[in-house]
């Protein structure tokens, strides 16, 4: 019997496994006994006389911050990462999230970012490089904090040194390498200028209290927690997401790995889709999406909506609206929200259906999570208000969310009634893109861009839940990266 088989057969092994998973959250090893035993064997290779019982006692005596526990964690965790990993997410931050943070914090002049599970540091340094290369003027005299944390103390030491091999900087543009790194033989050191805002510390996402203001982990504008939760079990993921929600300011932004999206994230955050990625925004107080829904629901019965006169509903199809090409005419759609209570410019850009905070709380379909009843109510509302483009737009959002009906037709009806409905064009483009119909998707992205082109950047986009023209422009522009306008 070899050493690994002996470890697997030892009655103490399940206790070590439970202790390690409980302390680190690494449920990835719950069904990978051979892999865990192999890594324990590495730690015992120079301790041939140490049995598993004594090893468990040593780990328990030290706790997760002890030297041997950290050495085992070093064997269990993955340190492979590189600068600008998943570039689409960094592009989304630059185009949508960071500009919104700058507008929202223009009085306090504070920007706080957390790289949670930062490994050996490239993600945190990438953030400082992006901020200083793209927002240097806007951030002059600002207080900026980028905190990188990881469970693995060895990784944090590497991050603090800021010196990397060719693997970590692979694919970087030579100009970026020259500007941001000093060559040290076969290694690359992050230049001091791009390390001024970034700090690192050991922190256990599973056991550490959050918010943790002494560590700078509270009142955050942006949190990146990518490819961390894939190692956790569902209860741990749920608890961590709730904690990340808690440490973000209202309207703060969350970025997770591509394999970490889904119901748990959508129940707490508003998804904001951009090319190649989805980033998430914490809703304002009172508008948190209910957990029963994968994304938030549209308004089903706005109190200001009047019933049409019988004479207006005799024809089976609505009459087309006159085409409006001037900036003055199209302002009607962009400024339609002026009749509603004022929405701050920092409200979340709703690219998923509208915020639950706008949904009548007395509606039993919404309160009980009965999506079928919600859809029936929305269809009935559209039947009663055939000439209202907003009703058809909201129906399209709900049908797209639930994967039923014909959302493309609903968005088309909204545009038939109001050809300058920017968000209807945007969501119609998204619906075509999701179905692989790239030509019409591109056409409607261009239509949306043309509609908002003549408007002030601070104007609110109707049906956008506080989305500004500048934010919508940035989101549209991402779909045309590398193309001529």
Domains recognised in the chain with CATH numbers? 3-76 (no CATH), 87-281 (3.40.50.150), 310-480 (1.25.40.10)
Report the C-alpha gap between 375 and 402 in whole angstroms. 9
Kindly give, in sequence order, each residue whose CB lies less than 8 Å from that of residue 443, ignoring residues fewer than 6 positions away.
429
Question: What burial class does residue 341 get, using C-beta atoms within 10 Å of its C-beta: 0-12 exposed, 13-18 middle, 19+ buried?
Answer: exposed
Phi/psi zone of residue 77: left (φ > 0), alpha (ψ -120 to 50 degrees), beta?
beta
| pLDDT at residue 315, as a whole number | 37
Residue in 183, 202, 199 with CA at minimum distance from that of residue 191:
183
With a cut of 70, which residues of the chain have pLDDT below it?
Answer: 1, 78-80, 286-372, 401, 465-466, 478, 480-485
Phi and psi at 190, nearest 5°, equal -65, 130
The H-or-E segment that residue 44 falls in is helix 33-44
Would you state the structure tokens that stand for residue 151, as one six-digit string?
């469970």
DSSP letter assigned to residue 340: S
| Cβ(349)–Cβ(96) below 8 Å | yes
| pLDDT at residue 190, as a whole number | 98
Phi/psi zone of residue 371: left (φ > 0), alpha (ψ -120 to 50 degrees), beta?
alpha
Q: In what order do the strands lie in the sheet with 143-150?
A: 198-202, 143-150, 110-116, 220-225, 248-256, 277-281, 270-274
The H-or-E segment that residue 474 falls in is helix 469-477
The H-or-E segment that residue 311 falls in is none
| pLDDT at residue 141, as a whole number | 94
| pLDDT at residue 466, as a whole number | 64
Report the C-alpha gap between 163 and 166 in whole angstroms. 10
Kindly give, in sequence order, each residue whose CB lies less than 8 Å from that of residue 390, ignoring residues fewer than 6 positions away.
336, 414, 462, 463
| pLDDT at residue 376, as a whole number | 81
Residues of 410-429 as b/e, b for ≥16 C-beta within 10 angstroms?
bbbbbbbbbbbbbbbbbbbb
Residue listed under structure tokens 């308004």:
299
| pLDDT at residue 367, as a whole number | 35
In whole angstroms, what separates CA 219 from the centre of its chain?
A: 17
| Cβ(220)–Cβ(281) below 8 Å | no
Phi and psi at 63, nearest 5°, equal 80, 170
Tens digits of residue pLDDT in 445-459: 899 999 988 888 888
Summary count for the chain: helices (H), strands (E): 20, 10
Report the C-alpha gap between 162 and 380 in whole angstroms. 60
Using DSSP's 3-state secondary structure scheme, residue 278 falls into strand
Residue in 379, 366, 305 with CA at minimum distance from that of residue 336:
305
Residue listed under structure tokens 């693997």:
167
Report the C-alpha gap between 409 and 395 in whole angstroms. 10
| Cβ(414)–Cβ(395) below 8 Å | no
Phi and psi at 29, nearest 5°, equal -90, 5
Q: Outline where 308-384 has alpha helix (H).
A: 327-334, 364-367, 371-384
Tens digits of residue pLDDT in 236-293: 889 999 999 999 999 999 999 877 877 778 889 988 887 778 899 998 876 544 332 2
DSSP letter assigned to residue 161: H
- Partner residues linked to 189 by β-bridges: 163, 182
Question: What burial class does residue 6 get, using C-beta atoms within 10 Å of its C-beta: 0-12 exposed, 13-18 middle, 19+ buried?
Answer: middle
- How far from 178 is each of 134, 172, 173, CA to CA, in Å? 16, 10, 9
Residue listed under structure tokens 């239509």:
447
- How far from 187 is each of 137, 165, 181, CA to CA, in Å? 31, 5, 10
């Amino acid at each position: 019997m070899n050493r690994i088989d002996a470890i697997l057969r030892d009655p103490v092994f399940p206790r070590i496994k439970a202790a390690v998973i409980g302390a680190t959250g690494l449920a990835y090893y719950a069904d990978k006994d051979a892999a865990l035993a192999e890594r324990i064997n590495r730690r015992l290779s120079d301790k041939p006389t140490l049995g598993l019982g004594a090893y468990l006692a040593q780990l328990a005596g030290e706790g997760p911050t002890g030297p041997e526990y950290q050495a085992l964690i070093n064997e269990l965790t993955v340190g492979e990462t590189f600068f600008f990993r998943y570039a689409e997410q960094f592009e989304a931050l630059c185009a949508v999230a960071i500009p919104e943070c700058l507008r929202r914090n223009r009085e306090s002049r504070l920007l706080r970012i957390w790289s949670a599970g930062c490994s050996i540091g490239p993600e945190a340094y990438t953030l400082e490089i992006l901020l200083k290369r793209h927002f240097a003027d806007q951030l002059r005299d600002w207080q900026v904090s980028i905190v990188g944390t990881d469970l693995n103390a060895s990784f944090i030491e590497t991050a603090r040194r800021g010196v990397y091999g060719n693997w970590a900087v692979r694919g970087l543009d030579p100009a970026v390498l020259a500007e941001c790194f000093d060559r040290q033989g076969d290694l690359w050191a992050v230049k001091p200028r791009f390390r001024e805002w970034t700090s690192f510390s050991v922190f256990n996402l599973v056991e550490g209290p959050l918010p943790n203001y002494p560590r700078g982990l509270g009142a955050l504008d942006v949190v990146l927690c990518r490819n961390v939760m894939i190692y956790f079990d569902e209860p741990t993921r749920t608890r961590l997401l709730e904690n990340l929600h808690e440490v973000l300011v209202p309207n703060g932004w969350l970025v997770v790995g591509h394999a970490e999206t889904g119901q748990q994230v959508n129940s707490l955050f508003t998804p904001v889709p951009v090319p190649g990625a989805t980033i998430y925004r914490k809703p304002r107080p009172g508008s948190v999406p209910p957990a029963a829904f994968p994304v938030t629901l549209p308004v089903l019965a706005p109190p200001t909506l009047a019933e049409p006169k019988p004479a207006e509903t005799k024809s089976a199809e609505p009459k087309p609206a006159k085409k409006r090409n001037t900036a003055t005419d199209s302002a009607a759609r962009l400024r339609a929200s002026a009749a509603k209570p004022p929405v701050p410019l920092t409200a979340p850009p709703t690219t998923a259906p509208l915020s639950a905070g706008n949904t009548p709380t007395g509606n039993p379909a919404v309160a009980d999570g009965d999506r079928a009843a919600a859809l029936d109510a929305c269809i009935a509302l559209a039947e009663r208000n055939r000439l209202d483009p907003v009703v058809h737009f909201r129906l399209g959002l709900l049908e797209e969310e639930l994967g039923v009906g014909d959302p493309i037709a609903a968005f088309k009806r909204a545009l038939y009634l109001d050809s300058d409905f920017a968000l209807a064009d945007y969501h119609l483009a998204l619906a075509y893109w999701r179905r692989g119909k790239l030509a019409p998707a591109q056409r409607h992205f261009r239509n949306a861009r043309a509609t908002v082109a003549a408007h002030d950047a601070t104007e609110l986009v109707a049906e956008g839940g506080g989305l500004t023209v500048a934010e919508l422009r940035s989101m549209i522009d991402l779909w045309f990266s590398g193309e001529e306008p």
